[in-house]
Amino acid sequence: MSVSGNQPVALGITNPPIDDLLTKTDSKYKLVLYSAKRARQINAYYSQLGEGLLEYVGPLVDTHVQEKPLSIAMREINEDLLVCEDIDPDEAVAEPATA
């Protein structure tokens, strides 16, 4: 938490503001799925760093010590560094699932 004037300003999930993030997707539900998927990719990237595997792309924004993957993902979304593409439900059913 940081102090701006007399009012404390909370950092984290409110930075970037949720209203700004909602302008990046069609719905709040899509924003949740979009940011959660990217956060999982960032988390997997950090896990794979020690093993020398690089299956996922690392953070696209400057990160801070102990910053959560979800916060990083939301900052990437806010800065338009990611593209969210809708999947046609008919095509998703037709393709075999990979584990």
pLDDT in tens, 37-66: 999 999 999 999 888 888 888 899 999 888
What's the confidence (pLDDT) of residue 74?
Answer: 94
Please spell the DSSP secondary structure of the chain, one letter per residue.
-EEETTEEE--STTSS-HHHHHTTSSSHHHHHHHHHHHHHHHHHHHHHHTTT---S---SS---TT--HHHHHHHHHHTT-S------HHHHHHSPP--
**What percent of the chain has a predicted confidence (pLDDT) above 70?**
78
pTM for the complete prediction?
0.73
Task: Kindly state the average pLDDT of the residues 8-22.
Answer: 75
**Domains of the chain and CATH, by start:** 13-83 (3.90.940)
